[in-house]
């Protein structure tokens, strides 16, 4: 035993001796000494508490644990907060379930909000199986599980979303309106992140696309993987006819566009969203398309898309592309550079932005002519 270890043991021995003396007086001890005494002998806390002069938030982890084990609510609350922040996984659930009944209303509210901010919904769910939670948390957990919920109104945890029945009207200020739809909380949150990213950097220009608040469809939206692609079926879609396109959030599979539907997945990024939006305007992928599609798209000559020419005689300044590698004829693209339509790690460049806007402007003109003709 080293001299340092002997001194430490002697110090603790003296402190414990003070505890069991006939007339203990702890007021003269330093905060460090009081803490060491409680850590060494937790039951001494009850005698030292009046002169401890330390709040739980100021205490060491050892001291917090020692006093929390004595079922002292304020110290249990502090330990719980620290364990949650440290992402403790093994003991947090048991601690939470054991401590909850001794926490006051404000502490329960703080713990609930901490669980939500950390995405620890499984712990909230475990709580709900043993204790009655408030209606707002109960609704939040129902959405987390993909169950039907009547309303999101006045729920602070769900105010950034809508139910199908509470969705807002489309915006007249945009050329196209997109409804963002998911079947559970994770999907809603992912759509919210993409919506925020898009609104920070709208493409190809501000005012082209308006994205709705994420809309909760619960079991009306069902998704699965088909031939590697994410595919979704949405019941009661006719109620969304005011929107030009629907953006559906699936769990797995490759993002894609089919008709007026865009399907995204858990791995979809802002660039994925922009890539798929370009498909709505008729742009084609510039990586090799599947053989089944190449069989008909690459069988005859001509310009097939704003960024795709198929055949032997390409337009001036167009260069070979990989689109029709699995098809009969060669394919060409309008730029020598790699693009977002080939690699989703690449940002939209000015060349393709101008082409995209040109397509949108021509469609706007066609729509105007059609309206005037109808009149």
For range 318-325, the mean pLDDT: 97
- Does residue 144 form part of some domain? no
Total domains in the chain come to: 4
The verdict on residue 348 lying in a domain is: yes
Is residue 170 included in any domain, yes or no?
yes
Say yes or no: 178 and 273 in one domain.
Answer: yes
Given this model, what pLDDT does residue 12 score?
54
Are 45 and 62 within one domain? Answer: no
Specify the range with the lowest mean pLDDT, choosing from 49-53, 136-140, 333-337, 363-367: 363-367
Whole domain around residue 26: which residue ranges? 7-52
Q: Is residue 152 part of a domain?
A: no
> What DSSP element (H or E) covers 333?
strand 331-333
Q: What is the pLDDT of residue 8?
A: 55
Question: Residue 174 belongs to a domain with what CATH number?
Answer: 3.40.50
Please check whether residues 184 and 264 belong to one and the same domain: yes
The pairing of beta strand 331-333 with beta strand 308-310 = antiparallel
In-domain check, residue 172: yes
Residues 170 and 274 in one domain: yes
Within a domain: 238: yes
Q: Are residues 197 and 246 in the same domain?
A: yes
- 221 in the same domain as 166: yes
pLDDT tens for 80-98 read: 999 999 877 778 999 999 9
- Which of 280, 308, 324 terminates a domain? The answer is 280
CA distance 34 to 10: 15
Q: Which of 254, 280, 306 is the last residue of a domain?
A: 280
Considering only residues 272 and 241, tell me which one the structure prediction assigns the higher pLDDT: 272
Beta-bridged to residue 229, according to DSSP, are: 226, 254
In a shared domain, residues 65 and 96: yes
Domain boundary among 112, 133, 154: 133
Is there a single domain that holds both residue 92 and residue 168?
no
Please state, as a whole number, how many other Cβ atoms lie within 10 Å of the Cβ of residue 29.
Answer: 18
Rounded (5°) CA angle 107-113-116: 140
pLDDT at 138: 97
Per-residue confidence band for 299, with pLDDT thresholds at 50, 70 and 90: very high
**79 and 121 co-located in one domain:** yes
Asked whether residue 110 falls in the same domain as residue 168, the answer is no
Asked, for residue 176, whether it belongs to a domain, the answer is yes
The average confidence (pLDDT) of the chain is 90
In a domain, 148, yes or no: no
Task: Indicate if 66 and 171 belong to the same structural domain.
Answer: no
**170 and 258, same domain (yes or no):** yes
Confidence at residue 93, expressed as pLDDT on a 0 to 100 scale: 93
Torsion, CA 222, CA 161, CA 92, CA 106, rounded to 10: -150
Cα 152 from Cα 149, distance rounded (Å): 8
């Amino acid at each position: 035993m080293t001299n340092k270890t002997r001194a430490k043991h002697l110090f603790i021995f003296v402190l414990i001796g003070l505890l069991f003396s006939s007339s203990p007086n702890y007021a003269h001890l330093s905060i460090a000494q009081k803490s060491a005494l409680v850590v060494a002998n937790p039951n001494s806390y009850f005698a030292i508490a009046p002169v401890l002069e330390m709040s739980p938030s100021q205490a060491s982890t050892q001291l917090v644990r020692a006093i929390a084990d004595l079922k002292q609510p304020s110290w249990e609350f502090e330990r719980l907060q620290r364990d949650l922040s440290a992402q403790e996984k093994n003991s947090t659930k048991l601690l939470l379930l054991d401590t909850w009944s001794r926490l006051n209303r404000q502490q329960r509210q703080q713990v609930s909000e901490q669980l939500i901010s950390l995405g620890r919904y499984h712990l909230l769910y475990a709580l709900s199986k043993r204790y009655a939670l408030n209606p707002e948390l109960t609704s939040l957990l129902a959405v987390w599980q993909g169950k039907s919920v009547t309303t999101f109104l006045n729920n602070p945890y769900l105010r950034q979303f809508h139910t199908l029945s509470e969705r807002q009207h489309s915006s007249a200020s945009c050329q196209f309106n997109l409804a963002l739809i998911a079947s559970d909380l994770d999907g809603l949150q992912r759509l919210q992140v993409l919506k925020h990213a898009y609104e920070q950097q709208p493409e190809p220009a501000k005012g082209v696309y308006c994205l709705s608040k994420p809309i909760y469809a619960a079991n009306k939206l069902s998704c699965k993987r088909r031939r590697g692609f994410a595919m979704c079926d949405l019941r009661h879609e006719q109620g969304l006819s005011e929107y030009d396109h629907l953006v559906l959030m699936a769990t797995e599979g490759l993002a894609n566009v089919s008709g007026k539907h865009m399907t995204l997945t858990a791995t979809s990024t802002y660039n994925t969203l922009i890539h798929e939006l370009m498909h709505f305007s008729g742009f084609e992928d510039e990586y090799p398309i599947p053989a089944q599609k190449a069989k008909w798209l690459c069988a005859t000559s001509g310009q097939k898309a704003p960024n795709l020419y198929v055949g032997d005689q390409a337009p001036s300044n167009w260069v070979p592309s990989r689109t029709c590698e699995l098809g009969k004829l060669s394919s060409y693209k309008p730029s020598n550079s790699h693009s977002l339509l080939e690699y989703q790690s690449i940002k939209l460049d000015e060349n393709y932005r101008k082409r995209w806007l040109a397509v949108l402007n021509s469609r706007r003109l066609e729509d105007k002519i059609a309206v005037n003709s109808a009149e």
